[in-house]
Amino acid sequence: MTTFPAPTQETQVCELDIEGMTCASCVRRVERSLAKVDGVQEARANLAMEQAQVRGTAPLPALLAAIERAGYHASPVEPEETASDPDDLVAGQARIARRKLRDIIIGVLFTAPVLVLATFFMDRFPRENLLMLLLALPVWAYVGRDFNVGALRALRHGTANMDTLIALGSSVAYLYSAWATFFRSSAVTYFDTAAAIVVLISVGKYLEARSRSGAGEAIRRLAGLSARSARVLYGGIEVEVPLSRVQIADILVVRPGEKIPTDGVVLEGTASVDESMITGESVPIVKDPGDEVIGATVDTDGLLKVRATRVGKDTALARIIRLVEQAQGSKVPAQRLADQISQYFVPAVLLIALGTYLGWVLSGHSGTNAMVAAVAVLVIACPCALGLATPTAIMVGTGRGAENGILIKGAESLERMRQITEIVLDKTGTITRGRPAVTEVLQLDGAGVARGSRELLQLVASVEQGSEHPLARSVVELARGEGITLVGDVRDFAVIAGGGVEARVGSKQVLIGNRRLLLNRGIELDGHDRQIAALEARGRTIMLVAVGGRLAGAIALADTAKEGSAQAIGELHNLGIGVTMLTGDNPRTAGTIADEVGIDRVVAEVRPEDKAAEIKRLQDGGKVVAMVGDGINDAPALAQADAGIAMGTGTDIAMEAADVTLVQGDLRALPLAIHLSRATVGIIRQNLFWAFFYNVVLIPLAVFGKISPIFAAAAMALSSVTVVSNSLRLRGTRQATLLAAGVFLLAVVLVGLGVILTLR
């Protein structure tokens, strides 16, 4: 007797590849089977990705055995596979698509003469039925083998799925016709129906597979970004090794035009790095020694030596891929009804088909006519559309988000984002840059105020170039950015307790500090109190500069709003969403930033531990609240909010607590995230409507004999393609929109024909 090892106590997420799932009822069966395993906390299967995600403490062998008992085959997905072997995924899907296309060609070659014989040459020459039997045999037995094998596998495990419906429908038509050929030569045969059912549904499956391949394009693009190899320095010699062999602390050499192999820190060199594939930022970022770099980004113009800090599944790219995959395996609440229905769908269709047959026979019709109606019922049912309605939309929606630097954790996050009525923004690092920047450089003298003195900026930056203080670094960065050459002859540099520094620059004695420091040194403000007070009233931090014992100027600094913050807040207002700023700063500074970017409401001087309480107060007032933050102190508020949104430039703790991460740290991605959530949930609801609509309208038509089995096969194939192509509209491309419009028009025509037939 086989025994499994005891479950570990550590909760983990296990991803499994599932073979054999064909419809929503398969998804439900896999989930229920996994849920029965001891230690499983949550199990989700995804028809579009043909995978399952299991959270809990259950051991892997127990999970694999549960799926085998349900009638499917499973294998574990290693986390590294997605990032390191994207070509294998693409090649595997391409092989499946080629096989399906080959089967369709074979099917068409044999089905076409069967249709011609049945339509135009019936009873024209002897042994016609035998010829059609031989022509239809490879279609039924070979082209339809996946359906037949899937049905037998389901039967062996005491279940039924979509394969059961298709195999039963085509097999009844073929086997009845074969029996009639040998034992009732005068009876009507349906070899054309059997062959056409298999071919039409195979065409639908092929188109569905192609569309689903497009839905998963984002994952493949992300996976394909990774470098395949790296140049590693060993004893001063460059050695090219596979990416999988790179280890933490290895020194990597990156030349212009090459991808940075893995996350790291620049040791030597300066280069502009294109990070658009990760952050969406189109402008290359200059990287100097000490700066962090992201794996898969491109060195555009300089030689870099980089120390690897994260490798394999721990890199930023791998984590992004993992987040997107987890999101694509999730479900919105609207899918729960479809899941519950799918559990009973196939058995219900089998009963309806049996009832149809009996009803026709008992009402005086021939057994042949009854059989045709029952076959139409079996074939018209489309559980595939129910199973694909949610995952395809989520795959495309989250994939498009990832391509735009928006990471959405799951379908429930999408649902919550759609309902937001109020967004609460942390100030520092979210609306603002999170570090001071020089806003004004003023030269002060007895004649008044002159702006932008390069000489004053040169003096201050020359003194401050040796300081690590954030204000000092901001002044030095501005001077260098404006091409000012710093003076090297700086002597007697000293930090003064109480807020300042002094040094001798050439022949000049320079003192830099706050108002109190200068007054303590006996340096008067010479009537410039009003100008300085006006800057302070606007939330500026002032560095006063004295040269030779007299006030020479002032430099004003502030944590300025990020580029695009005002635009983002304006777009949020256009979406009908209120905006609140939550900050620990004083009301004066907070009000200045709020006025600059157009914030509706400001809550200032909030302690970190009180942020979550403020979110709760808004929720108690009936608002659906999203919190946007970037710091450790924002994590409780992010968790309290209906939707937590983290800035990708912030801390890992904030990102873990959030539902959505804006990778680039740009608020302009926030309106896009909300629009994408609304569009994705809208598409899901449309898909579920169409999936139900096909069944509710067309199954009754089949019951009453208004739809032929061939027509039913075309409708069933089209139902899945309609759902998937509708999801592809989220990609926002013209081709996807045209495809969806064409399929939708075809669907309308098909349903319209069914209605016309009913009225006749």
Q: Which residues are catalytic?
A: 426
**292: its two tokens:** 């962090």
| Intra-chain end-to-end CA distance of the chain, in Å | 63
SS (H, E, C) 689-713: HHHHHHHHHHHHHHHCCCCCHHHHH
Q: Are 550 and 523 in contact (CB under 8 A)?
A: yes
Q: Which residues contact 557 (CB under 8 A, 6 or more apart)?
A: 436, 437, 438, 439, 471, 474, 475, 540, 541, 542, 543
Q: Are 697 and 754 in contact (CB under 8 A)?
A: yes
Q: 438, 475 in Cβ contact below 8 A?
A: yes
- 466 contact partners, CB below 8 Å, separation of at least 6: 490, 493
SS (H, E, C) 126-157: CCHHHHHHHHHHHHHHHHCHHHHHHHHHHHHC
DSSP 293: E
Phi-psi label, residue 527: left if phi above 0, alpha if psi -120 to 50, beta otherwise: left
DSSP character at residue 259: B
CB 216 within 8 A of CB 395: yes
DSSP 360-428: HHHTT--HHHHHHHHHHHHHH--HHHHHHHHHHHHHHHHHHHHHTTEEE--HHHHHHHHT--EEEEEII
> If you search the block for the tokens 């002897």, which residue do you land on?
126
Dist CA 693 CA 205 (whole Å): 20
Based on C-alpha coordinates, what's the Rg of the chain? 34
